Amino acid sequence: MGSLSLLACTEPSPGRPITEEGWKRVEQEVKLTRLEREKFDASHPLKGQVAGPALRQLHDEEYVCHIGYLDLPRIAKGTLATFEFVRTPMVFCMQGSTQPDDFCVERHVNLNIGWQDPKAPESELSSQLASSVITDRVFRCDTASDVKRR
C-alpha cells in the first residue's frame, strides 16, 4: 500500500518537474508513515485475535468500526484467465486525530475476519465477531494532504 502511495506522490505533474525540496518532503512523509505503521504494529498485534475483544480495544481507543463489503477479484472456477468478483465482508475502522500537530489526521484499520459464514446477512456477521478470528489487517495513516486531495 505504501508503494502505491509513493508512486502517486512521485508522479511528475505535467507542468513542472519535482524539485529537490519536493523529493525531501515525499521522503519525510514516507518515513513518518512507516514509523506510524510500526508504532501501530507494536501496540496492536491483531492478527490471530478473536475479533470481538480486539474491536472493543479499538473502540476504547476511539476508533469507529463497521462491517462493510469489498468486491475482491479471484480467478473464476474452471478458467485460468477470467476473473470474477466476490463480495467479501470486512471490518473497517477509522480514528480521527484530535491533536492539531498529529502527522496522521486519520488512522484506518481494515480487518479480514475468518467468518464462520461469510454469506450471512450483516446482522448475523455482527454476532459472529464474538468467536471469529482476525486473519489479517491493514493499517493506513492519512495525512492532512491526503485528506485535502479527496
pTM, full prediction = 0.78
Which residues is 108 bridged to in the sheet? 94, 140
Number of structural domains found in the chain: 1
Read off the pLDDT band of 123 (50, 70, 90).
Answer: confident
Residue 25 belongs to some domain of the structure: no
Residue 50 belongs to some domain of the structure: yes
pLDDT tens digit string along 94-111? 999 988 888 899 999 999
Higher pLDDT, 8 or 146: 146
Question: Quick one: average pLDDT of 35-49?
Answer: 94
Residue 52 belongs to some domain of the structure: yes
Residue 6 belongs to some domain of the structure: no
Read off the pLDDT band of 14 (50, 70, 90).
Answer: low
Residue type (1 letter), 32: L
Q: Which domain holds residue 93?
A: 46-148
Q: In this model, does residue 92 exceed pLDDT 70?
A: yes
Residue 59 belongs to some domain of the structure: yes
Residue 124 belongs to some domain of the structure: yes
Q: In what order do the strands lie in the sheet with 133-142?
A: 64-75, 83-96, 106-114, 133-142
CA distance 21 to 42: 32
Q: What angle do CA 101, 41, 67 make, to 5 degrees?
A: 90
